[in-house]
Structure 1
Amino acid sequence: MSQQNLGPILDGLGNTLDLDEGDLVVSALVIIKVVDGQGRVSLGLSTSENLSWIDQNGLLFSAQQIVNQAEVTNGDDA
């Protein structure tokens, strides 16, 4: 295993974010699904420097609420 920068990986997956002029991203929590050469699936986490576990939990909880709300209003399950 080796440390890799996530920027190129996320770019390759098509990840983008809408930001307004002057917006400043101050921290990040990245959750990734990894499939190894044998097809085994694992979960990977990456956080920005100095992101406390309290902030990690807050970001995760808030993101889950956004995803849940999008599922309720999206109606794409049909």
Structure 2
Amino acid sequence: MSEPIGNLLDSLGVDLDLDSDELVSGAIVLLKTIDADGDVGLRIRWSDGMGYLERIGMLHAARAIETDNLGCGHDD
């Protein structure tokens, strides 16, 4: 069953500070899941209309951002 995940993200404390002139044009959401047996998994979803190359590019950029921020105390 598929359903919107906005409330789920809100309940996990996910938020974002945007400047007044910024617009969100796409999103990739990576979710860590745990099933009834305690097995951990990953789920990924993306905005409608987002193509493969755009998704891969955003994931690559996110990895670079996280790698560059390791140990720097930077949280966004």
State the TM-score, normalizing by the size of structure 2: 0.89
- Name the aligned partner's letter for residue 24 of structure 2: V
Give the count of matched residue pairs: 73
Q: Following TM superposition, by how much is the alpha carbon of 1:72 offset from its aligned partner in structure 2, in angstroms? A: 4.4
Q: Which runs of 5+ in 2 are unaligned?
A: none
Q: Which runs of 5+ in 1 are unaligned?
A: none
Q: Following TM superposition, by how much is the alpha carbon of 1:4 offset from its aligned partner in structure 2, in angstroms? A: 2.1
- Name the aligned partner's letter for residue 18 of structure 2: L
- 2:9 aligned counterpart, secondary structure: helix
State the TM-score, normalizing by the size of structure 1: 0.87
- 1:73 aligned counterpart, secondary structure: coil
- Name the aligned partner's letter for residue 45 of structure 1: I
Deviations 1:18-70 (A, max 9, x none): 10002110000111111011111111011000100100000000000110111
Identity %: 32
> Which residue is 1:20 aligned to?
19
Does 2:5 align with 1:6? Answer: yes
> Which residue is 2:50 aligned to?
51
- 1:26 aligned counterpart, secondary structure: coil
